[in-house]
A and B are shown apart, each in its own frame.
Chain A
Amino acid sequence: MNKEAPLSITERDFILNALRENVRLDGRESDQLRPLSISFGQEYGHVKVKLGKTSLIVRISSEVTKPRDDRPFDGIFTIALELTAMGSPAWDNGRQGDLETYVTNVLDRVVRHSNALDTESLCILKGVSCWSVRADVHITDYDGNLIDAACAGIMAGLQHFRRPDAVVKDGQVIVYGVDERVPVALNITHKPLSITFHTFDEGNRVILDATRKEEQAAEADVIIGMNNAGDVCFLSKFSGSPVDAMVFVTKSTVAQEKVKEINGVIDKALQADLAKRAKGGMLEESRAENDR
């Protein structure tokens, strides 16, 4: 179970033959993203991502916990993604499928293991208390390319999120409410994003941002995780038929371009939201520096 209904042979052939003539079902170029929109909700760290027909909601939350015994200086960061029947009727509630494990693993690798969020900055008191930051991904509509959409959502959420301020006084940890002190932004070291490609026709055709149908018709997928500076932090060729090594070389340039494009969209959305909050909120009054 937990699998989408397979494509019919004719549908598969149609997609493939169209691609041989450089035509995609939705009329995009092979290296073109679907329209991406990112918006923020009321609370900090509440992000809505729409990539074509794929849409999801990311919520970032934080709480104070005890750090792990083997890493007393580190805070905790977890990414929780659960596929529910909301995203697609093919997914069963409360049952883990292959896709869920795969997507969670990639997101973990791209965002968490590349140290996008500096976990050391989440430490409050060594070995006693630290922040535990949690990113919950709710998939509301699934139409392919879950990984890139979720990755963009998590990164946008981390940049948008503000945690309550906490100080240590005489060995006591005091957490100030959001209305008592200006909440603190998380420490982001770099902004990695994943870019997924799918190959067709014995590796001759490579397309970016496949829809659900294209994903089902594809032979293999290649995922490149990269940040704005062009540092590759993740590279995967998980399953399917072999892919020529040159694909990785040529497509990393494309990936770099797309990472910049998506980061641009995120930055723009963040700026717009910040401006909106500044109007109604206490941001101006609570600022420490003055305009000189």
Chain B
Amino acid sequence: MVGPTTSLTPLSRADGSASYQCPATGANILGSVNAPIELPGRRDALKPEDATVEVFIKPGTAPGGVGERYVEGIIKSMLGRLVLGREKSYARRGIVVTLAIVGGESKPRGDSYLTVLPALLQTSLLALLSASVPLSMTFSATVLGVNTLGEIIREPAPTDAAAATSLHVLAFSSKGHLLLNESRGSFDFDTWERIRQRALTICHGTLSGSPDGDVAMVEDVDGQPLEGVVRETVEDKYHQDYAWKIDAA
């Protein structure tokens, strides 16, 4: 399994940015984060001690519509719980996440966003990290499809996704807790449990937890666990940015 291609801070104007390309689904997402910024006309914010997370999705080849607003809602509520909005200089400020779908097959009109949702989530996480927004945890997300034979397909291509009986998007926190579950189609609970198991291995590898709650990640058939991709992207960026210091030492 070929892992995703990622890069941190490809843009210069935005506070933080990331690009993410998933080879299996073909989704190519560019994300940017501006934080903390003044949000105009929002003095009467609902939670005066907290930061407001705003998410905007820009589809690649179509005007935005109801589908985008719906996914924005999903991502917003998930990120809202992760961001430490009460940190210094974040209260009453805005965290604006902008995600543009810059590549990949354009989905048919009215189709659900489930296939690109994990890519959107991963991009927003990387962009938040790039903008150094305080987060309570990191996460990783994947999409799985179940075909008519009951087989689980990891990150199905657009044609597979269209033929699948059910599609599931799951996100796990860095500690292995389930953060998000969005499903479409018909399935029973046993199938879902199998899906959850598989998704957990994709995100975290075969778990071998130690008593202090640390999770060691091991590679298997699913290649490098997605949680490791996030770590590696950030590590690579650090190595690049601090090359002068590392070389000098």
Once the chains bind, are B14 and A59 in contact (CB under 8 Å)?
no
The answer to whether the Cβ of B12 comes within 8 Å of any Cβ in the partner chain is yes
Check if A215 is an interface residue, CB within 8 A of chain B: no
Measured CA separation A1–B30 after assembly (Å): 25
Interface contact A136-B14, CB-CB below 8 Å: no
Q: Which chain A residues numbered 128 to 186 have a C-beta less than 8 Å away from chain B?
A: 134, 136, 138, 140-143
Q: Whose C-beta in chain B lies nearest to the C-beta of A89? A: B34
Q: With contacts A85-B32, A86-B30 known, is A141 near B13, CB below 8 A?
A: yes
Task: Find A93's partner among B14, B28, B60, B98 (CB 8 Å cutoff).
Answer: B98
Which of chain B's residues 143-201 have a Cβ closer than 8 Å to chain A? none
Q: Which one of A41, A89, A138 lies within 8 Å of B15 (CB-CB)?
A: A89
- The reply to whether B32 and A86 form a contact with Cβ atoms under 8 Å apart is yes
For A143, what are the chain B residues with a Cβ–Cβ distance below 8 Å?
Answer: 12-13
A-contacting residues of B (Cβ < 8 Å)?
11-15, 17, 28, 30, 32, 34, 37, 40, 54, 56, 58, 60-64, 96, 98, 100, 102-103, 105-106
Determine the chain A residues whose CB is within 8 A of the CB of B100 once the complex forms: 57, 84, 86, 138, 140
Instruction: Report Cα–Cα, A142/B15, bound state, in Å.
Output: 13
Question: Given A41-B103, A140-B30 in contact, is the A94-B15 Cβ separation under 8 Å?
Answer: no
CA distance A94 to B58 in the complex (A): 10
Q: Are B37 and A136 in touch, CB under 8 angstroms?
A: no
Number of A positions contacting B (CB below 8 A) = 29
For residue A52, give the distance in angstroms from its CB to the closest CB of chain B: 11
Assess whether B61 is in contact with A136, with CB atoms less than 8 Å apart. yes
A84 cross-chain contacts in B, Cβ below 8 A = 56, 58, 98, 100
Q: Is the pair A43, B96 in contact by a Cβ cutoff of 8 Å?
A: no
Provided the pairs A61-B106, A84-B100, A138-B100 are in contact, do residues A89 and B61 lie with their beta carbons within 8 angstroms? no
A-B contact pairs, 28 of them (CB 8 A): A41-B28, A43-B103, A46-B103, A55-B11, A57-B30, A57-B100, A61-B60, A61-B61, A82-B58, A84-B58, A84-B98, A85-B14, A85-B32, A85-B56, A86-B14, A88-B13, A89-B34, A89-B37, A92-B40, A93-B54, A94-B56, A94-B64, A134-B62, A136-B60, A140-B100, A141-B11, A141-B12, A143-B13
Q: Which of chain B's residues have a CB closer than 8 A to the CB of A42? A: 103
Known interface pairs A94-B56, A138-B58, A140-B30; A57-B96 also in contact (CB < 8 Å): no
- Residues of B within 8 Å of A85, CB to CB, are 14, 32, 34, 56, 96, 98
Query: Would you give the shortest CB distance from A45 to chain B, in whole angstroms?
Result: 9
A87 lies within 8 A of chain B by Cβ:
yes
Q: In the complex the two chains form, is B14's CB within 8 Å of A134's CB?
A: no
B34 to chain A, nearest CB (A): 5
Q: Give B88 Cβ to nearest chain A Cβ, in Å.
A: 20
Closest to A92 in B: B40
Would A93 and B63 count as touching, CB distance under 8 A? Answer: no
Assembly CA distance A53 to B98 (angstroms): 19
For B12, list chain A residues within 8 Å (CB).
53, 141, 143
